[in-house]
């Protein structure tokens, strides 16, 4: 993770069906109190990069929105 003036840049990997892609995306950090921090973001993922393709009219869009809400707490 890299701190920026507008939040945080998170770097990581997303694995689906044994295929992994690297991601880097901006996120908003929130102090939730009681030693907890939240990270929130929304990004587009091209599912063809993960080897996912579907047949049919309802599945023609390859870019899908991934919404991440993570809470980190001290033990």
pLDDT tens-place string over residues 32-74: 889 998 999 998 888 888 877 766 555 556 778 889 999 999 8
Residue 4 has pLDDT above 50, yes or no: no
pTM over 0.85, yes/no? no
Give the mean pLDDT of 6-30. 87
pLDDT at 3 (0 to 100): 47
Range of the domain at 69: 2-73
Q: How many domains does the chain have?
A: 1
Backbone torsions φ then ψ of 59, nearest 5 degrees: -120, 35
Write out the two tokens for 44: 């587009």
Q: What is the DSSP letter of 56?
A: S
With beta carbons less than 8 A apart as the criterion, state whether 14 and 52 touch: no
């Amino acid at each position: 993770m890299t701190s920026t003036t507008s939040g945080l840049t998170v770097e990581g990997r997303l694995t689906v069906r044994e295929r992994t892609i690297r991601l880097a995306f901006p996120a908003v950090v929130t102090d939730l109190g009681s030693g907890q921090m939240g990270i929130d973001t929304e990004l587009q993922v091209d599912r063809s990069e993960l080897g996912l393709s579907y047949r049919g009219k309802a599945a023609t869009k390859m870019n899908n929105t991934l919404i991440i809400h993570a809470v980190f707490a001290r033990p």
